Chain A
Amino acid sequence: MRAIATQLSGRRGESLVFHDIGFTLARGEALVITGPNGAGKSTLLRVLAGLLAAETGSFRLKDDDGADLAVADHTHYLGHRNAMKRELRVSENLAFWQSFQAGDNGGGLTVEAAIEAVELKGVGHLPFGYLSAGQQRRIALARLLVSARPLWLLDEPTAALDKRSDQLFADLVRGHLAGGGMAIAATHQPLGLDNVQRLELDGAHRSLEAGLEAFA
């Protein structure tokens, strides 16, 4: 399985924040996107997830035979927000996403195993709103474990996490890659991996589209 991006450009508002981005990821590889604030890291990840339309170019997932796969069905997206309901118990939240995002081939950990994997054993029965910000973030990571999808798109996954949890997160990503998965992350956290590609967005591509200069 491979993930291929060709000549991607995306914009926020009227200005292009990046253009002509291309990369190829194979199984077990990760791509780390770095760059200053406003360089378009989040925009790029949302374009890859299909949540924003790309201005030009395309992003495809191909299986081993070269056939196209639906990106939305094979991708986990972890944004700035945790996608969990404060009113519901942790286990209810995870069980919901497990059944909602169930992959074709099943897989994925049980809810209890996923909570244990993020080292929060015993919080399953608590309402999500009772947890601290760091614990909430770790449960959000556990969502990626309860249903198996090959590509992880991670936007600042270690926000609100302490040093220990940073390490935990790096271990989780490493485990995912070792199992044949792929990951694209916007993070400054060293993952401690061998096969990491780097993509530096510098925001220098920012330019107004032709015809819109008049409004600048």
Chain B
Amino acid sequence: MMALLKRDLAIATRSGGAAMLGVLFFLAVVAVIPFGIGPDLNLLSRIGPAILWIGALLASLLGLDRLFQADREDGSLDMLSMQDWFGLVLTVFVKSCAHWLATGLPLVLAAPLLGLLMNMSGLSTGAVMLTLLVGTPAISFIGAVGAAVAVALPRGGLLVSILILPLAIPILIFGVSASYAAVTDPDPFWPPFMILSAIALFFAALGPVAAAAALRGASD
């Protein structure tokens, strides 16, 4: 399984890989917001955490459709599916982890730079980074379900986003509310952050099982 992690990371970082593209998309999405709503720094710093979260959500959904599709196109998916149930679930888990390391983690690391552009305070940026660190793996895990369902479909990319966005809304809600709670005084930071962590753990358990079931069914 370590070999699978290494292989997926190698593919993502070789030429033509998707590792850089997610961050670039994140950068571009967040950068167009001030064009739309105007360069009012106070307003930007107030809505900054939400913008960063929405940008990160869209950027992590962007590459999800390739999670299993690339393996299906070259036939590797057959070999990955030829395992017992536990092996397949573990395979999906490892592939989701590799996907997060290649596309999710760079988003977390890029967040401070964008926080600067959004005129966010250090505390606010730190809170967004922490919540993204917990929240983006949850998106990758639940996204694996959508990727598995849409694996055999043409134009799966848009479909995956449509399928996964409703499921990702709780992640967004608690991620953003925890980020705001860190800077607005009376609201406590920990309760929404704990719920976010619970969602992440729940999705880490549910996502691979559901995705494995979908892959078994989608085989043709």
**Which residues does chain B contribute within 8 Å of A99, judged by CB atoms?**
3
- Inter-chain contact A88/B82, CB cutoff 8 Å: no
Known: A50-B82, A75-B82, A88-B10. A96 touches B4 (CB 8 A): yes
Known: A50-B82, A75-B82, A96-B3. A87 touches B15 (CB 8 A): yes
User: Which listed segment binds B: A30-38, A78-86, A181-189?
Assistant: A78-86
Q: Which of A72, A84, A85, A86 contacts B82 (CB 8 A)?
A: A72
Tell me what chain A mostly uses at the interface: helix, strand, loop, or mixed.
loop
CA distance A49 to B3 in the complex (A): 23
A17 to chain B, nearest CB (A): 13
B84 at the interface (CB under 8 A from A): yes
**Which residues does chain A contribute within 8 Å of B7, judged by CB atoms?**
85, 88, 92, 96
Which residue of A46, A70, A96 has the most chain B CB atoms within 10 A of its CB atom? A96
- Inter-chain contact A51/B11, CB cutoff 8 Å: no
B75 at the interface (CB under 8 A from A): yes
A41 to chain B, nearest CB (A): 15
Known: A84-B74, A87-B16. A92 touches B10 (CB 8 A): yes
A96 to chain B, nearest CB (A): 5
- Inter-chain contact B74/A83, CB cutoff 8 Å: yes
CA distance A82 to B73 in the complex (A): 10
**Which residues does chain B contribute within 8 Å of A79, judged by CB atoms?**
75, 78
Closest to A43 in B: B220
CA distance A73 to B82 in the complex (A): 7
A216 to chain B, nearest CB (A): 21
B42 at the interface (CB under 8 A from A): no
Interface residues in B123-148 (C-beta closer than 8 Å to A): none
B18 to chain A, nearest CB (A): 11
Interface residues in A54-104 (C-beta closer than 8 Å to B): 70, 72-73, 75, 77, 79-88, 92, 95-97, 99-101
- Inter-chain contact B75/A80, CB cutoff 8 Å: yes
- Inter-chain contact B83/A49, CB cutoff 8 Å: no
A52 at the interface (CB under 8 A from B): yes
- The number of residues on chain A lying at the interface, defined by a beta carbon within 8 Å of a beta carbon of chain B, is 27
CA distance A80 to B77 in the complex (A): 13
A111 to chain B, nearest CB (A): 12
CA distance A146 to B215 in the complex (A): 26
- Inter-chain contact A73/B84, CB cutoff 8 Å: yes
- Inter-chain contact B83/A72, CB cutoff 8 Å: yes
**Which residues does chain A contribute within 8 Å of B84, judged by CB atoms?**
70, 72-73
B81 at the interface (CB under 8 A from A): yes
- Inter-chain contact B75/A81, CB cutoff 8 Å: yes
A70 to chain B, nearest CB (A): 6
CA distance A96 to B4 in the complex (A): 7
- Inter-chain contact A85/B76, CB cutoff 8 Å: yes
B113 at the interface (CB under 8 A from A): no
**Which residues does chain A contribute within 8 Å of B75, judged by CB atoms?**
79-83
**Which residues does chain B contribute within 8 Å of A46, judged by CB atoms?**
219
CA distance A46 to B16 in the complex (A): 32
CA distance A70 to B14 in the complex (A): 36
**Which residues does chain A contribute within 8 Å of B3, judged by CB atoms?**
95-96, 99-100
Closest to A129 in B: B16
- Inter-chain contact B79/A97, CB cutoff 8 Å: yes
B22 to chain A, nearest CB (A): 17
Which residue of B6, B15, B17, B82 has the most chain A CB atoms within 10 A of its CB atom? B82
Closest to B73 in A: A81
**Which residues does chain B contribute within 8 Å of A52, judged by CB atoms?**
219-220
Chain A residues close to B by CB (< 8 Å): 46, 49-52, 70, 72-73, 75, 77, 79-88, 92, 95-97, 99-101
Q: Can you give 8 contacting A-B residue pairs, CB < 8 Å?
A: A46-B219, A75-B82, A80-B75, A81-B74, A81-B75, A87-B17, A92-B7, A99-B3
In the A-B complex, the 6 residue pairs with the smallest Cβ-Cβ separation, listed nearest first, are A81-B75, A83-B75, A99-B3, A72-B82, A87-B14, A83-B76
